[in-house]
Amino acid sequence: MDPEERSRRLAAGLPVAETVAGPAWSTDGPFRDQIRAGEFASPQVRTWRDQIHRISDDLVDLQASRSVIDRLRSVVQANPRLQSYNLLLERIFRWYATSTLVLAHRDVQDQRDVVSLVRLLEAIARNAGELTRDRYRKLHTGSTIAAVAAGYESLGAYAAGKVLELSYDKLAGPNRNTLNVDAINADVAALVAAATDVEAARHTVYAHRAAAGASVASISLGTIHDFVDLLDTVVNKYRGLLLYEPYFQGHTPVDQTNWTEILTFPWILPRESDSSVPYAATPAVARTLLRALPDDERRELLREFLD
């Protein structure tokens, strides 16, 4: 072990034996914070880390909207009364499709002044030497030394180090020391190909009014979602390369607010001062309204009529 590496480990309170890598996952404190902040990265890699964060955060926003639309679709499919034309539902689905087309297309844009997934991958492919296996290891552990088991006390660090090496293998190949540039370029090509209809609809229908008319007659939610699914897969792969968060659970957020509760009760209630009631006072409507009330309010209301 070179003196610089030994001094760094001593200062961080890490083992100095050559057989143990400096594991970010098993040591709390300033050293771990340095690794999370990307302080062992080159300026170029720090830029890439910032970009993948932005791309990933925007994808979370996309997937949040998608989760709402998927739930609304399941509600409509399960309720025949909602399956006839409804202006509100039609507008909601159209707004979602339009915004998703525009937002998702950002990641295949290739202008020099934009941040996109395609431009990020092209930059990594051109500068693969920034993330050799040794540099990747140092970025995420603070050390270029591979983890090797050295007794029972180091098994956790060794296991974490092996997972790190396997993660790099997925992008480089087993035991290779440089990224597989052909595979990166293949990911770029797959993104561009999958975005063909998305780009055509965005460019000639929504973002602009093409003088020659739209180049695609329509685009389905399925086509849009296939492209978003590919974005999710590719972003996860390169997020692992640049940020290495083995416990990252993906880009679809888990909503904790039970937002669908608003679909279980009437939105518009009649008032005594209203000259008209927004729905007919039929037994079916009365039952629906009663069921929507909390149990204690329903009992109190029924008591008024029965007493």
* 180, 289: one domain: no
**Does 70 share its domain with 157?**
yes
> What span, in angstroms and rounded, lies between the C-alpha atoms of 241 and 65?
27
Query: Is 260 part of any domain?
Result: no
Residue 24 is predicted with a pLDDT of: 42
Structure tokens at 8: 């760094």
CA–CA gap between residue 167 and residue 147 (Å, rounded): 14
Pick from 84-93, 271-280, 285-294 the range whose average pLDDT is largest. Answer: 84-93
- Cα distances from 36 to residues 31, 49, 139, 296, in angstroms, run 9, 11, 9, 51
Structural domain for 59, as ranges:
3-242
Instruction: Assess whether 128 and 8 both reside in one domain.
Output: yes
Q: What is the pTM of this model?
A: 0.75
How many distinct structural domains can be found in the chain? Answer: 2
Q: What is the pLDDT of residues 137-185, one digit of tens each?
A: 889 888 787 776 655 555 666 777 788 888 899 899 988 999 999 999 9
| Residue 254 is assigned to a structural domain of this protein | no
Amino acid at 126: R
- Tens digit of each residue's pLDDT (9 = 90 or more) over 78-135: 988 888 888 998 899 889 988 888 888 899 998 889 999 999 999 999 999 999 999 9
Judge if 48 and 173 occupy the same domain.
Answer: yes
Q: Which of 186, 207, 242 is the last residue of a domain?
A: 242
**CB of 85 within 8 A of CB of 172?**
no
Q: Is residue 7 part of a domain?
A: yes
Give the Å distances, CA to CA, from 52 to 58, 69, 300: 10, 26, 56
Q: Per-residue confidence at 203, pLDDT binned at 50, 70, 90? A: confident
Is residue 283 domain-resident? yes
Provide the pLDDT for residue 304: 83
103 occurs within a structural domain: yes
